[in-house]
Amino acid sequence: MIAVLGAGAFGTSLAVAIGRERPVTLWGRNLKHRSQSAVSLPENVTVSAEIGDVGADTVLLAMPAQALRGFLQDNAPRLAGRKLVACCKGVDLRLGLGPVGVIRSVLPGTTGAILTGPSFAADIARGLPTALTLACADDAEGLRLQHDLSTAVLRLYRTTDVVGAELGGALKNVIAIAAGIVIGAGLGDSARAALMTRGFAEMVRFAESRGARGETLTGLSGFGDLVLTCTSPQSRNFRHGLALGSGQPVDESATVEGVATARAVTDLAERVGIAMPVTAMVAALTEGHVTLAEAVRTLMSRPLKQE
Ligand SMILES: NC(=O)C1=CN([C@@H]2O[C@H](COP(=O)(O)OP(=O)(O)OC[C@H]3O[C@@H](n4cnc5c(N)ncnc54)[C@H](OP(=O)(O)O)[C@@H]3O)[C@@H](O)[C@H]2O)C=CC1
Ligand SMILES: O=C(CO)COP(=O)(O)O
């Protein structure tokens, strides 16, 4: 049995997709949004506002990355011993951990995995073909999850490189904000391509410094999601950047994971001496420490170097 905890856009779309083929319970703390949603649920999906005893062996955690730790702490007794699959993208501001790291730190001994990659919730809910990465350090467990969560149109690839998958998904959101800023400010598609490429270089550099395999970053959870999020106005991170770049107000109600992750990663990178110029500039811009003109000048005047 599968449970999805978190009935926002992504949790609901996963419940819909998996529910087309097998039974799923979808829990949300506030089902007001669910009832207002245009997405209709297959019969296999049971919706609940009472978390009660999570009767499922496999539990998908679909809430913002910064909310994950508190949620796990509040629900530790009912989640211990389950297979927990993080469905969120971000680096925890408190300890600098990815979602599986957070699971392990709150519930040691629990199998933690992450489902991540290029996928807009609306596309998944409509049944459009989507490919994602399922990362689990225990490959036998990862294989089981891969089969349990894949459907005819939701195709999961598997890896044991949890850190690589966590960081690909987290870091691409930061670069997507930067890409949005570039487009919003009218700096052009060439500048966006340069930023995506140099942003990807720093994603790989940082992830490898944390023990990830570079090839994971070239996969769906890294490069794949970077391309999607930096080029589509469906992305909230990209739209956040568009607003910043064009001087419009940002949507404070939207889940924009890249803002907190930019700060968390900038601090971690500074501590270990890894250069993350784009990420650091996104942190400084979103926190109002620099203007856009200063950011562009700083990035363009860095010492010339080999590619
Ligand atoms: N939307 C998308 O296309 C995709 C999203 N993701 C990732 O999924 C994660 C969730 O995003 P998404 O679903 O889009 O965001 P939404 O803002 O649509 O939904 C977030 C959900 O999390 C719930 N929530 C927030 N805080 C808590 C908490 N402390 N305890 C329990 N539930 C909580 C919210 O409840 P409430 O409504 O009551 O606040 C809401 O149901 C993010 O990390 C995002 O990057 C990944 C791929 C695609
Ligand atoms: O992660 C996503 C697509 O893979 C969704 O992007 P946003 O969170 O920026 O909307």
Atom of ligand 1 nearest to the CA of 123: 3
| Number of the ligand closest to the Cα of 228 | 2
Instruction: Confirm if 17 and 44 have CB atoms less than 8 A apart.
Output: no
Q: Ligand 2 pocket test: which of 154, 229, 240 has the largest number of ligand atoms within 8 Å of its C-beta?
A: 229
Main-chain dihedrals φ then ψ at residue 136, nearest 5 degrees: -145, 130
Q: Is pLDDT above 70 for 138?
A: yes
Q: What is the pLDDT of residues 208-243, one digit of tens each?
A: 999 999 999 999 999 999 999 999 999 999 999 999
Instruction: Give the model's pLDDT for residue 257.
Output: 98
32 in active site: no
Domains 2-160 and 163-301 share a fold: no
Q: How far is the CA of 8 from the centre of ligand 1 (A)?
A: 5
Q: Which CATH superfamily is domain 163-301 in?
A: N-(1-d-carboxylethyl)-l-norvaline Dehydrogenase; domain 2 (1.10.1040.10)
Instruction: Give the model's pLDDT for residue 303.
Output: 87
ipTM of the complex as predicted: 0.99
Q: Is 120 in the pocket of ligand 2 (CB under 6 A)?
A: yes
Q: How far is the CA of 288 from the centre of ligand 2 (A)?
A: 23
Q: Mean pLDDT across the chain, nearest whole number?
A: 95
Q: Is pLDDT above 70 for 33?
A: no
Q: What is the pLDDT of residues 51-75, one digit of tens each?
A: 887 789 999 999 999 999 999 999 9
Q: How far is the CA of 67 from the centre of ligand 1 (A)?
A: 9
**Domain residue spans of the chain:** 2-160, 163-301
Under DSSP, the state recorded for 290 is: S
Q: Which CATH class is domain 2-160?
A: alpha beta
Q: For every residue of 16-49, which 3-state class applies, written as one string? A: HHHHCCCCEEEECCCCHHHHHCCCCCCCCEEEEC
Strand (E) or helix (H) holding 274 = none
121 annotated ligand binder: yes
Instruction: Confirm if 253 and 194 have CB atoms less than 8 A apart.
Output: no
Indicate the burial class of 194 (C-beta count within 10 angstroms; 0-12, 13-18, 19 or more). middle
Residue with tokens 């999601």: 225
Q: What is the mean pLDDT of residues 82-103?
A: 97
Q: Is 12 in the pocket of ligand 2 (CB under 6 A)?
A: no
Instruction: Give the model's pLDDT for residue 32.
Output: 72
Q: Which of 32, 83, 172, 305 is catalytic?
A: 172
Note if the pTM is more than 0.90: yes
Tokens (6 digits) for 37? 């949603």
